[in-house]
A = this chain, B = another copy of it.
Amino acid sequence: MINVRKTAKSKPIPAIVLHRMALYHCLLTDWLLAGRNNSTTSKELANTIGVTDATVRNDLSYLGDETGVRGVGYSISSLRGLLGRFLTLPPSAPIAFVGSTKALGSIFSFFPPEKFGFIATAFFSEDPSDRGTVVNGHEVHSIEAISPALGNLGIKVAVVATLPNWIQHSVNLLAKAGIKGVLIITPSTEVMIPDGVKVLHIRIPCDLKTLLYHANLGEEEEPSSFEMVL
């Protein structure tokens, strides 16, 4: 089989570069929404996200040739277009949500999907009292109702925010339904990942523990003891 994907470099893209690609796309989208549509430079992108300009240019080289213009920079809108095509983002990507309406409804309060290029079109809850509820014009189904019908809706990724003991079952059903990517928001450390599915975890407790380490750096020992002198 021939190398089909038209990347400038034919090697698989490192995960960290891919993550920055998504971040560039988010950032450029923000700029466009804020009414900005001139050029930017690798230096500006680098400063904004906290890497070097060389890293940015290296990352963008995965997009192919003629990405920027020497001496000028990158067109914000066309760079965003290239990134979107590279990431295979449609204008609005349908996603499924799994979790109680309480959890999901409130995720929407800080992450309204439509504002970020997504559209929530399928809902599944582990809470029996959610049965029959309508969210965003879509009926909330039981988790058992997760089925390959999702594929017909064009849904390829799902967000999982169930109670912990429902995570594994949800992931298994999503995988069987042909879902290719799952973002797990409920803190969890042990999830068996079925073949053919990419799973990302958000881990709020781990992040907070990391922050606590930084918060107490250099404060652990009293600076007043004798032993410190030597």
A residues at B contact (CB < 8 Å): 2, 4-5, 18-19, 21-23, 25-27, 30, 48-49, 86-89, 93, 95, 99-100, 102-103, 105-107, 109-111, 116-118, 156-157, 159, 161-163, 180-183, 185-187, 189-190, 198, 200, 202-218, 220-221, 223, 228, 230
Contact = CB atoms under 8 A, between A and B. Distances in A.
A156 B210 CA distance: 12
Nearest to A34: B190
- Copies of this chain assembled into the complex: 2
Given A4-B228, A22-B203, 9 more contacts: A4-B223, A87-B209, A93-B208, A93-B212, A102-B109, A103-B109, A110-B185, A116-B205, A157-B211
Contacts of A205: 22, 26, 111, 116-118
B206 A183 contact: no
B211 A207 contact: no
A25 B208 CA distance: 12
Given A30-B189, A190-B30, A87 B180 contact: no
13 contacts: A2-B230, A4-B218, A18-B210, A21-B210, A23-B206, A26-B189, A30-B190, A48-B190, A87-B212, A106-B109, A110-B162, A116-B205, A159-B208
